[in-house]
Amino acid sequence: MSDKSSIYKSTLLFVIIAGIALFFYTSYRAATLSITHDEGVIYQVIYQHSLGKILTYVIPQDHMINSFLMKLSCQLFPDSEYTVRLPNLLGHLLYIIFSILLLLKLKNPHLLATGFVLLNFNPYLLDFFSIARGYGLSVSFMMVSIYFGYSFIQSRKILALSMAFLFAILSVLTVYTLMNYFFALCGVAGMMMLIWWADERFKLNRRFLSNTGIYILVIAASTALLYFMLHEPLKRVQSEQFIYQAERANFYSYTIRSIIFRSIFNSDPKTTVDIASYGFIALYFLALIMMVVMSIRRNFTFTGRLMLYSFTILFIVALSTTLQYKLFNIRFVNCRSATFVAPLIVLVFIGLAEELIRRKMMKIPVLIIIYAVSGLFIYNTVKHANFKWYLDWQYDASTSEMMNDLRQDVGTKPAKEVKLGIAWQYEPSINFYKIAWHLDWLKRVDRNGYNGDFDYYYVDNVDSVMRKDIFRDKTIIKSYGESNTVLLKKALPDEANSQ
């Protein structure tokens, strides 16, 4: 066995072990972290509708394929946090596998190791692989599509193109904003057909026409299928005000910077975000300059490699979202809706590194840079790893613990229906536990706040500061530090008089 082969196998073993570790991390969180507000909303949708109706039932928060798979999971297994999150966990496994397969195509152990870290070590993205929302699942489908799209560029096989569009459609049906990626895939396929036609010196021989005709048919059929499936849902979504941009924005400030900010878990927003975002813009323009120079020198080897592929996808995504904003005032993707942009940014960096490493004078400096950046990604992920809450829903960190404390305080057979007063944001997650845990003694909670006569109160400490009367005639069952909340019990008449 050669030294090069031994290094490559050792590197592959490292990324497999790292992938398994990340999968166990998201699996443990999926099984133990409390259900969040948004998960509770979708759970109530799937609880009330059949599998067939879910594919046509649309609400602004609905992620169709994710909801469908959640419902299927709940029919196969008892309702629990892990059950409703299982589709995204399987999506995480898919993402890990196909990110490795994509990097293996580069045939470089350094890019395999660092590329895996850059694509997979992102604490914000890991949040969505362990939560019952469509964002993680859509990114997984996109990664599979990217792999097959890259395979198509290298092999020109119709099957690879068909698989790329199949998974692109699945990603869009999971989260509608992935329509921007679908447009990008169409653009890349069209660009490659033009490049291959130029390679043929613009001759239209029978074989080229036959293959190109099938490529166009695949693209047209995929577009028609997606339009048919999304025509009615998108009409409903377009009627909702939430899709419109209220303030002036652009792709760089609203999308790139927001996903970088979330990826470092909202910490050190100014310095780190500035360095990372400006650095990415510099790298993106460096990739553009390299492709222009190589084109002038008639060195078109880059046309079949990752740099052009990832560069073009991200460019069309930016163009698509910008045109939607300029023409229809549809808001730019940002934060959780921009999670799919994070791997695209990384792929541009990896593609540029691949090209620079091919130049002997640049190899060592580039390797130092990509290993250093990979180290920062690992540090950032380890620093922000936690087994208590999700970044966008930290206020729900203690909901399951509170519900268990409430169940223990009430007892097994309460004499009457128990009423719980809550702040509006806890309604979906609490009703999830009422249904999943079969708490028939608990009256369904609503979003009307604390006003009224309740047996128990689940209070946000922010509210308690503004309303001192919340604690009057009540005893504290437990305080929860992670969510900054308190569970209160209405005092009995004798206890209230003594107070």
The string of pLDDT tens digits covering residues 177-217 is: 999 999 999 999 999 999 998 887 788 788 888 889 999 99
The residue written with tokens 């869009």 in the block is 172
What pLDDT does 295 receive? Answer: 87
* Mean confidence (pLDDT) of the chain: 90
Distance CA 350, CA 118 (A): 9
* pLDDT (mean) for 367-374: 96
Burial readout 264-289 (b: 16 or more C-beta within 10 A, e: otherwise): bbeeeeeebbeebbeebeebbeebee
What pLDDT does 497 receive? Answer: 47
Pairing of strands 474-480, 485-490: antiparallel
* pLDDT (mean) for 30-59: 87
What pLDDT does 64 receive? Answer: 87
What pLDDT does 140 receive? Answer: 98
3 pLDDT more than 80: no
248 pLDDT more than 80: no
List phi, psi (to 5°) of 474: -140, 155
* pLDDT (mean) for 38-57: 86
What pLDDT does 463 receive? Answer: 62
**Per-residue pLDDT band at 300 (split at 50, 70, 90):** confident
What pLDDT does 5 receive? Answer: 80
Distance CA 358, CA 363 (A): 7
Distance CA 401, CA 478 (A): 10
Half-sphere exposure for 199 (CA within 13 Å, toward CB): 12
**Per-residue pLDDT band at 496 (split at 50, 70, 90):** very low
Residue percentage of the chain with pLDDT more than 90: 70
The residue written with tokens 């927001």 in the block is 258
Listed range (62-71, 266-275, 407-416, 488-497) with the worst mean pLDDT:
488-497
